[in-house]
Structure 1
Amino acid sequence: MPTPTDIKPPFTRQTAIQKVQAAEDGWNSRDPAKVSLAYSIDSQWRNRATFVTGRKQIIEFLTGKWQKEREYRLAKQLWAYTDNRIAVRFQYEYHDADGNWFRAYGNENWEFDDDGLMRRREASINDYAIEESERKFNWPLGPRPAGDPGLEELVR
């Protein structure tokens, strides 16, 4: 599978799907420094009501996120694409320090520079409390295994 920076605009349906899968795999690594390399040096984010600019702040944001959101597992799906933009929907599951489980539902809009680095990320996310027994993402920590159900196969 190509890395996020191997896939550059203009996107086709196939390369947009590859870009989404590469992003999902990167985020499932929970390695803030690695994930930050998919973004331009001056990348601008809105994540819920938090605004982040640049790789240093991306690393700080993701470090804090994954300290709070434990056993994080994410699935993304392509929603739409144009030459240099991609829209995705996603779900992820995690638990907090007290062992309370959540499923987060969200949408992201991405814009890329000519080198395939994401220069803008807009994320709208809602958390939904679940019981551990309601989890859908039970694969071992890390990338979602090939053949594991994605969002198309999951309901609610």
Structure 2
Amino acid sequence: MSRPPLPPFTAETAAQKVRMAEDGWNTRDPQRVALAYTEDTRWRNRAEFLEGRAAVEAFLARKWARELDYRLVKELWTFAGNRIAVRFAYEYHDDSGQWFRAYGNENWEFDEQGLMQRRLASINEHPIAAGERRLDWPLGRRPDEHPGLTALGF
């Protein structure tokens, strides 16, 4: 299975890969998102360490069951060869209605087929009031005209 664009990345293909990842995560479909990772992918997500596509899918199902109305923006930070670094922000609310905003950085490493074989994520979050939300488009893909992280001042 191949997931273009493939490494080695250029500025254009790295940015395309980042937007494709953002779009996928904004579907909140664990099975679909997990297909972007190798069967033996390795993750560090905060203090959680995962190995394998099935573990990623289960993790994402748990995540989106508790992080409701999730919306994410990713932005390319840098790239080289088969690696991409991104920064991101996302907002969600829990089942009590409390909103949160999370910020973080991810380091990605891809195999020759364009599947992510390693994801290292560092994430911090804090509660926000509903009126402080900045990621408020209708659920699904972020519209092209919606500002990205830099334009939002994140």
- TM superposition score normalised by structure 2: 0.98
CA distance in 2 between partners of 1:78 and 1:143 (Å):
17
Find the counterpart in structure 2 of residue 110 from structure 1: 108
Identity of aligned residues (%): 59
Where 1:153 maps in the other structure, the secondary structure is helix
Q: How does 1:137-152 map to 2 (within 5 A)?
A: 137-152=135-150
* Post-superposition CA distance 1:37-85 (Å, at most 9, x none): 1000000000000011111101100000000100000000000000100
Q: Deviation of residue 147 (structure 1)?
A: 1.0
Q: Deviation of residue 108 (structure 1)?
A: 0.1
Find the counterpart in structure 2 of residue 55 from structure 1: 53
CA distance in 1 between partners of 2:100 and 2:53 (Å):
27
Find the counterpart in structure 1 of residue 19 from structure 2: 21
Runs of 4+ residues deviating >6 angstroms: none
Root mean square deviation, CA, Å:
0.9
Instruction: Count matched residues.
Output: 153
* Post-superposition CA distance 1:102-122 (Å, at most 9, x none): 000000000000000000000
CA distance in 1 between partners of 2:21 and 2:39 (Å):
17
Q: Which consecutive unaligned segments of at least 5 residues does structure 1 have? A: none
Q: Which consecutive unaligned segments of at least 5 residues does structure 2 have? A: none
CA distance in 2 between partners of 1:52 and 1:142 (Å):
26
CA distance in 2 between partners of 1:103 and 1:133 (Å):
12
| AA aligned opposite 1:17 | A
Q: How does 1:59-138 map to 2 (within 5 A)?
A: 59-138=57-136
- TM superposition score normalised by structure 1: 0.96
CA distance in 1 between partners of 2:142 and 2:111 (Å):
27
| AA aligned opposite 1:79 | W
